[in-house]
Structure 1
Amino acid sequence: MVNILVILLASSFAGFLGAITGLGGGSIMVPFLVATGVPVKHAIANSMITIIATSSGSASAYVRERLTNIKAAMYLEIFTVTGAIIGAYIALFAPSRYLYFFFAVFLMSSFYGIRHEMGNEILENKVQDRFSKWLELEGSYFDESVGREIKYKMTNAVLGGLGMIIAGLAAGMLGIGAGAFKVAIHELVLKMPSKVSSSTSNFIIGMTALAGSSVFIASGFINLSLAAPMAIGTTLGSLAGTRILNKLSNRTVRLLFIVVLAYLIVQMIYKGVVSLAS
């Protein structure tokens, strides 16, 4: 079993990065646990606790700063919860080796999309389709890094909802909250600003993980000796992350996001190849 102090440190780091990038922390903890010898399905199940803790630790601060768009979160969560429950059932029966490659593929798609947005410091979309306007998917927040109020409007609400079903499937199958995929949909499809994307993702992933974790809890995959220190560490790390997100430039947030993605892509491909060879 992994040392409790090591779990606390790793989960604190995961919560810190998760709160800034919108990844939730599970996408960091799953590869970490697998690398230390925890079976992938057990790592997925216990990482759900990490995701819930990250979301709980960061959500209140981001809502207070108006970074989280509540209306968008509530609309998108309808689709992600449905996908998460279905995905969790699939994960119970799918061979682990295929989960590694599935993880890598959707992370590569996120990497490609966000990489092309690196040059835009602030994305201020002014165009809305009729349905997005009806849902009132818009908002504003004060960006400390540029020292001014940022107003934005979202678009493509229907396409974004369909994308969130796929993100929910990934969340349930991989135990990561699918924050990486959600952030990509927020920015590339819905046209959210980067910081709004990260904070809204953190708000959504807690509910998504809660839906998916119910399946794993019923199946007996949750190990309290892993889940408890992970929850504590992730909560502390996410609280620290919320204090600095709005002070960072949007380019820095995106850079942190794609650096973590690059690591995760390599890690998952390696594990998948090893599992096929064994």
Structure 2
Amino acid sequence: MGSILGIGGGIFLVPLLVLVFDIDIQIAAATSLVAVIVTSSTSASSYLHEGYVNVKLGMFLETFTTAGAVIGALLVVYLTPSTIEIVLAMALVYASVYMMFRAEPKPIISASGSQSPLCRRFRCRYSDESTGSNVEYDIRNARVGAFGSFVAGNLSGLVGIGGGIVKVPIMNISMGVPIKAATATSNFMLGVTALAGVLVYLSHGFIAPVLTGVVCIGIFMGATLGSRTMPRLRGTFVRFLFGAILLVIAATLVLRASGVWI
């Protein structure tokens, strides 16, 4: 699921470990970040081969995301688990509402030589397998994308979610990147973001080797299947699936953090 939606899987894995297996959220976040690296490495290679990833855009945004991830991971030792859970829940609600109820912007089809300066530097096109069409798009609001990527990095380091829940909506809604290119580019970026956070968590002793190993085996199999499935899905279906699942998880986390469900 994480590779299909471009969010790394941490958004599902952290609540699962915390709510079902009662694992401390700091350990769950650290485990999730390692799993995000596996997801990114597995799925990004497939998306790169199929042409969905905008590599230059990903590298540009990742500069800001990595800085945010280091800061977020450093903050985790100063916050209580319930505070971190509330932060995660708020991030989930934001992503859910935007992806479910905001219409996807239509790609700006540009004639040869008429693209924006940013798109002349980046490769802003791909072939959509589900529709059989070639999609060429333009990029806007680069500053918004840079700021959103920094926030995504903060969330990644703080709650172990990879940051894709912010990256994908920012690229799709604010920057005008079609949903499939946004999810693929997000997957490409996630590994670097997660690695920055993992190093900080490792220095604080939050990595559980056995738990991490078991989780990564399952993540690898799921990411392989997901990266082969995403190109065949309609963009609107991906958006609705993304939003609906995140909204349910957010409600569950709020109940737990408030003491209603322990």
Q: What TM-score do you get using the length of structure 1 for normalisation?
A: 0.88
Aligned-residue identity in percent: 33
Calculate the aligned-residue CA RMSD, in Å.
Answer: 2.0
Match of 1:23 in 2: 7
The answer to whether 1:84 aligns with 2:69 is: yes
Contact 1:58-1:202 within 8 A present in 2 as well: yes
CA distance in 2, matches of 1:129, 1:80: 26
The answer to whether 1:193 aligns with 2:178 is: yes
Q: 1:124 aligns with which of 107, 128, 140?
A: 107
Matched AA of 1:132? L
Match of 1:240 in 2: 225
Q: CA deviation at 1:138?
A: 4.3
Q: CA deviation at 1:130?
A: 5.9
Q: 3-state DSSP class of the match of 2:258?
A: helix
Q: CA deviation at 1:214?
A: 0.2
Q: 3-state DSSP class of the match of 1:32?
A: helix
CA distance in 2, matches of 1:103, 1:255: 20
Q: 1:139 aligns with which of 102, 105, 124?
A: 124
Q: CA deviation at 1:129?
A: 9.3
Matched AA of 2:128? D
Unaligned runs of 5+ in 2: none
Matched AA of 2:183? S
Q: Which runs of 4+ in 1 moved over 3 A?
A: 126-131
Q: Figure out how many residues of one structure are paired with residues of the other and give that number.
A: 258
Match of 1:158 in 2: 143
Matched AA of 2:118? S
Match of 1:100 in 2: 85
CA distance in 2, matches of 1:159, 1:262: 24
Task: Deviation per CA, 1:30-67: give whole Å up to 9, x if none.
Answer: 01111211111111111111101100110100000011
The equivalences for 1:36-47 within 5 A come to 36-47=21-32
CA distance in 2, matches of 1:49, 1:248: 27
CA distance in 2, matches of 1:181, 1:24: 12
Q: CA deviation at 1:116?
A: 2.8
Q: 3-state DSSP class of the match of 1:243?
A: helix
Unaligned runs of 5+ in 1: 1-16
Q: What TM-score do you get using the length of structure 2 for normalisation?
A: 0.93
Match of 1:206 in 2: 191
